[in-house]
Chain A
Amino acid sequence: MPQQQITTDVLVLGGGPAGAWAAWNAASQGAEVILADKGYLGTSGATAPGGTTLLVIPPVAELRDAAVRSRLQAGGYLSENSWIHRVLDQVEQNLEQIEEWGYPFPKDEDGNPLRTHLHGPEYMKIMRRVVRKAGVKIWDQSPALELLYDEHGAGGARGINRLTGEAWEVRANAVVIATGGCAFLSKGLGCNVLTGEGLLMSAEIGADLSGMEFTRQYAPSFADGTVTRGRMLAWATLYDQAGNPLHRGDRTFGSIPELMLKGPVYASLDLADTEAKQQFLRSAHPIFFMPLERAGINPFKDKFPLTLRYEGTMRGTGGLRLTGADCSTTVPGLYAAGDAASREKVTGAISGGGAYNASWAICSGSWAGLGAARHALSQRCLAGSRQLRAAGRMGLAGGAPASRTLDPKPLIAAVQQEILPLRINYFRSEPVVAAALQRLDSLMPYITGRPPATVQGIVQSREAAAMLQAGRWIYTAALARKESRGLQRLAEYPALDPRQTHRLILSGIDRISISTESVPHASELPVPREGRAI
């Protein structure tokens, strides 16, 4: 029996931007809200340590139509124009709100604010302040471990307080999953909290996943460090070990995986060749420069080694399948926002990158918060009086026979071995991915052991289970989409196949079933003759 038990209207899991916006919006509807985060609302997640560029396009019909059309094409016709327009409308309102709350956006010559970029520490500090002021109870260091459910759908969660070791249970008629993507502990800046438990616990009560094949995204970073800011490399020349230039300027970073097959790759931001340009870059993204400077490197002059850090579903696109405009899922009372949700509706088959994902987090968080509040406040049965069951199994003590013990760290390493390597996950081919999936499947028995009885052991065991499952979903989807589209590529099918202009929906844990979902703009994709004949 959990030491702490409480009933509320809305439970938000995750304290990055999407969770913060969800909690604030739910509270604004008069709902009682608890936000539980694995870490700390203010430091947790991919946004807080650095910052983020936003997708904002002035409300001029031509500009927006053009942006939406180019996204539709680039995303392989899997996005939905109406959703992109919604995001563009909604994000303007939220950014105005952030400015009212005190964020100092720069202004242009005419005094109009340029709301195109947010520095993470300041942004998330403001979000913490306003969420708290709205009456939300913030539970830091309180990872959720499993969801509660009954025949009416989601009903709350159970978790643990990492500092006290106390188990907690929150009963709530609506739950928002804003736990971020799954980045497999690859040490991209701020991403090691993103281990996929939100996806696992949602699937355990019947939620679907979508777009898990669009997960071939790696980000360049200083080899010793963590900071992943690919856009900075637009100012770089890439060099080989002997100092010969390989590539220069725009999109250089897209070529890095191929270049790295041949040997180590170095970068120097030598295209910023004046003091003014250097100063501009330095103040736009201080987090990119600080670690390099600490390591004694002048990135404008020196050549520094690069590595690629896997970004999983975080800067990939897949996640929980959304079924309603309010970011509802197939499970009543369960909502998803930010990187925990599939972003296909706005990005299609390609990466949301920083900008799309940042605006998406703000908007989907807001919609999910409002939707969850509306749902919770309209229920006649209080969550406290429902006959709720805890749904978690994989990597939890409740689902384990007492005889075996689970050692999470080697299991995590074994999952990483299959998921992180470029040769498996970036250069995808059917036999290699199938073999990796088989090895992941063979790890399943190891997750049924009993987790160590320490707080870290309990949390890491569940993280190991979530990463193992996310890996199995990713490779299952990658093998099912027999074509190359956006972030998905299979060596055997190098071209886009117009007949596969649909989404791939996954459900289930042990046995993963696959179905397809049609998309509204599929018929707009120009189809070659032979494709039409079938």
Chain B
Amino acid sequence: MIELVSTDRCIGCRLCVKVCPVNVFDMQGKLAVIARQEDCQTCFMCEAYCPVDALYVAPQADESVHVEEQELIASGLLGSWRAEIGWNPGAEDTMAERDTTPFFEEFTETFRSK
């Protein structure tokens, strides 16, 4: 579930409010806030779209877990999904470009037992 909107980083652009498929965020003054955490579907899309890497979605879908912003920054997790998709400024390539996969089932068939 969504666990963090960094008030240090949030620039109030409203993009998370606009893109969240399940309407989890509201604006409170100039900051986005988690208004309906229980509706979060843990799809990570808000993280992908946040232009300043202010959001963190924990992988746990059914229960809220405690996160520390400084630890997330130190471990490189804050913004890591956007970077992996390749939507961060200065990204060398995108996830789609890095995937040189032939047909998945064919690969599985050919290489699994090798």
Q: Across the A-B interface, how many residue pairs have beta carbons closer than 8 Å?
A: 150
CA distance A119 to B101 in the complex (A): 11
Give every chain A residue within 8 A of B112 (Cβ-Cβ). 234-235, 249, 271-272, 277
- A49 touches which of B18, B23, B44, B99 (Cβ 8 Å): B44
CB distance from B98 to the nearest CB of A (A): 5
Please choose the segment from A170-178, A184-192, A398-406, A498-506 that sits at the chain B interface, where 4 or more of its residues have CB less than 8 A away. Answer: A184-192
If the complex has contacts A43-B45, A249-B112, A290-B81, are A114 and B102 also in contact, measured as CB distance less than 8 A? yes
Within 8 A of A (CB), among B80-114: 80-81, 84-85, 87, 94-105, 107-108, 111-112
Determine whether the beta carbon of A117 is less than 8 Å from that of B99: yes
Within 8 A of A (CB), among B5-34: 17-23
For the complex, is B42 an interface residue (Cβ under 8 Å from A)? Answer: yes
User: Which residue of B has the minimal Cβ distance to A284?
Assistant: B101
Interface of B is mostly: loop
Determine whether the beta carbon of A283 is less than 8 Å from that of B102: no
CB distance from B2 to the nearest CB of A (A): 13
For the complex, is A226 an interface residue (Cβ under 8 Å from B)? Answer: yes
CA distance A43 to B17 in the complex (A): 12
Give every chain A residue within 8 A of B81 (Cβ-Cβ). 290
**Residue count of chain A within 8 Å CB distance of chain B:** 55
- A226 touches which of B39, B61, B111 (Cβ 8 Å): B61
Within 8 A of A (CB), among B50-89: 58-63, 77, 80-81, 84-85, 87
Within 8 A of B (CB), among A276-301: 277, 280, 283-284, 286-287, 290-292, 294-295
Within 8 A of B (CB), among A187-241: 187, 189-193, 222, 224-226, 231, 234-235
Per CB-CB distance, the 7 closest pairs between chain A and chain B, nearest first, are: A39-B21, A291-B59, A192-B41, A43-B45, A49-B43, A122-B96, A284-B101
Give every chain B residue within 8 A of A294 (Cβ-Cβ). 58-59, 77
Give every chain B residue within 8 A of A121 (Cβ-Cβ). 45, 48, 85, 87, 95
If the complex has contacts A122-B95, A225-B61, are A49 and B104 also in contact, measured as CB distance less than 8 A? no
Give every chain B residue within 8 A of A42 (Cβ-Cβ). 19
Give every chain A residue within 8 A of B48 (Cβ-Cβ). 43, 121
- A-B contacts, 26 listed (Cβ < 8 Å): A39-B19, A39-B21, A40-B19, A40-B21, A42-B19, A43-B43, A44-B21, A48-B45, A104-B96, A106-B99, A106-B100, A106-B102, A108-B102, A116-B102, A122-B85, A122-B94, A141-B23, A163-B18, A187-B62, A191-B41, A225-B42, A225-B61, A231-B105, A283-B98, A284-B101, A459-B23
Q: Number of contact residues on B: which range applies?
A: 35 or more
CA distance A48 to B41 in the complex (A): 13
Determine whether the beta carbon of A226 is less than 8 Å from that of B42: yes
CB distance from B94 to the nearest CB of A (A): 6
CB distance from A103 to the nearest CB of B (A): 7
Give every chain A residue within 8 A of B45 (Cβ-Cβ). 43, 48-49, 121, 190
Give every chain B residue within 8 A of A271 (Cβ-Cβ). 112
Give every chain B residue within 8 A of A191 (Cβ-Cβ). 41
Give every chain A residue within 8 A of B19 (Cβ-Cβ). 39-40, 42-43, 140
